[in-house]
A and B are shown apart, each in its own frame.
Chain A
């Protein structure tokens, strides 16, 4: 960790880290404590603007918007976490195997990856979710699948570059097994490209979840998420309550900004 700080001592990294830690920290606290019950309706406080009592105001049912955003952001971040975990995990596995061993399988898989990455990932996810139907697990599965090619591509490029280096040849001469070379000798050296990719992956996952749920093919109607809230809050704009949509949008934007600054900072050295 100390090495990471010394290596990326730039403003993008610092600001991105602070923003991400703050946002994720608030959201995690929100999973255990919210100012109000996110679903409690208060008939006396319907459609109010921001105030000291209700920080971000209330909706038509008198539910506290701040508490609901905390709950929604938690759901969105959890989805993003599993999407990146599965997508990066599978992508790294595929990229490592194909990059290290090469051959016909590598050729074919990379062609498929090329064709898939040509398509906007939002579009692919939209089509897949249209077939499968909405739901939290479907969103995670589909987005993870859509994210695999981008991770596979960069990990493969690193593996096929590093495997030709002298220290790997030396390790092979000394009789180190393939698995150990891949895990102990090559994988740690792919981190400089893998870490920014994971950060950008979080950025894309939050954005994709928000877009899918906004369009109504993401989480199902009974579940919460930032995308769903964004689509609900649309109706409030024209009825003189634009802040609901702005606060939800701002939450998404700040989450994404944190991850994207972090990714940019990790790419730049010193």
Chain B
């Protein structure tokens, strides 16, 4: 487990550096006191507010105070709404994570069979069709898919009502029906990319010496692919899938806007335009942790599959 610890240490150091940079950058944005009280506040009132928000301390002191509270789960208070940031984020994070995982599940579900099928039938009409359509589909941005889906299923076919999100508590069935369309939007381009990568990875493995050996031992193309090439060809895909989960989270910010989903991306955009710095800082940190953890899991899984990478 040595390699896991090593990676974990790198992960923590990176997060520490990132958190400081993000915190320092947002502190430079502007004085929140002016923002809250307006520009014609008395100096006494401004001073009192500064005291209350803890802004009269130096930057490193504030940073470490913020960091340790963050680790304990206390993310500070919103400047605008004066309520704990944690209460604002809680449910919204759940929605965004659900959307990302749903999109990721759809990507896995369709890309692996498509990639494997295409590689098994290399050069056939089906393979050529899939290769060309993958190339086209992966260049279509997720928000364009989202617009097409909204128009087709929302306006023309009326499978769902665009803009009227149903929460899980109200009706789980309608919640998942509504979530399905944003999930498909983020999944489609990524499915095409993953299928394309998997296909070329499998075909690369099929050229190697051990597959020739497998042929000489009586395997045919199908069984050699299934028994030998498939596992090895998954290795380069895992890092890509980790990047997929990270990218999908970023993609969610745009998709939430199109489908009016009350997720963390919308909260981020609203807080940015309100200059609600504690909320923005907390969300940026959560996204950073998410991205780093996903890459960490990807690396650990790769190393478990291929011990050579541990060196």
Contact = CB atoms under 8 A, between A and B. Distances in A.
| Same complex origin of A and B | yes
Interface of A: 12, 115, 118-120, 122-123, 126-127, 130-131, 203, 207, 210-211, 214-217, 230, 234, 237-238, 240, 242, 245-246, 249-250, 252-253, 256-257, 259-261, 264
A259 B280 CA distance: 34
Contacts of A246: 147-148, 151
Interface in B131-190: 135-136, 138-141, 143-144, 147-148, 150-151, 154-155, 162-163
A197 B268 CA distance: 31
24 contacts: A118-B291, A118-B295, A120-B247, A120-B291, A123-B249, A123-B253, A123-B287, A123-B291, A126-B250, A126-B268, A127-B284, A203-B139, A207-B141, A214-B257, A217-B272, A238-B155, A238-B162, A242-B150, A249-B148, A250-B144, A253-B140, A253-B144, A257-B139, A259-B139
Nearest to A129: B272
Contacts of B140: 253, 256-257
B250 A122 contact: yes
A129 B254 CA distance: 15
Interface in B218-250: 243, 246-247, 249-250
A237 B150 contact: yes
A245 B150 CA distance: 11
Contact of A237 (B147, B273, B291): B147
A250 to B, nearest CB: 7
Given A215-B269, A249-B148, A253-B140, 10 more contacts: A120-B247, A120-B291, A123-B250, A127-B22, A216-B269, A240-B155, A246-B147, A256-B140, A260-B135, A261-B135
Contacts of A217: 269, 272
Given A123-B287, A126-B253, A12 B151 contact: no
B141 A256 contact: yes
Interface residues of B, number: 45
Contact of A253 (B141, B251, B272): B141
B57 to A, nearest CB: 22
A110 to B, nearest CB: 14
> DSSP class of B's interface residues: helix, strand, loop or mixed?
helix
Interface centre among B25, B247, B272 (most CB of A within 10 A): B272
B185 to A, nearest CB: 12
A134 to B, nearest CB: 10
B292 interface: yes
Contacts of A256: 139-141
B18 interface: yes
B26 interface: yes
A242 B141 contact: no
Contacts of A211: 141, 143, 254
B267 interface: no
The 9 closest A-B pairs by CB, nearest first: A120-B250, A260-B139, A249-B144, A242-B151, A257-B139, A130-B272, A123-B250, A122-B250, A253-B144
Nearest to A125: B250
A106 B150 CA distance: 48
A199 B14 CA distance: 31
A270 B122 CA distance: 18
Contacts of A207: 141
Contacts of A123: 249-250, 253, 287, 291
Nearest to B271: A130
Interface of B: 14, 17-18, 22, 25-26, 28-29, 135-136, 138-141, 143-144, 147-148, 150-151, 154-155, 162-163, 243, 246-247, 249-251, 253-254, 257-258, 268-269, 272-273, 280, 284, 287-288, 291-292, 295
A249 B143 contact: yes
B300 to A, nearest CB: 15
A261 B273 CA distance: 37
A246 B284 CA distance: 32
A165 B133 CA distance: 39
B146 to A, nearest CB: 9
A203 B140 CA distance: 10
A234 B288 CA distance: 30
A115 B18 CA distance: 9
Contacts of B251: 120, 122
Contacts of A215: 253-254, 257, 269
A52 B81 CA distance: 52
Contacts of B257: 214-215
Nearest to A119: B291
A256 B142 CA distance: 12
A237 B269 contact: no
B253 A237 contact: no
Nearest to B296: A118
Contact of A118 (B136, B154, B292): B292
B14 A115 contact: yes
Contact of A242 (B155, B250, B253): B155
A46 B2 CA distance: 68
Contacts of B26: 131
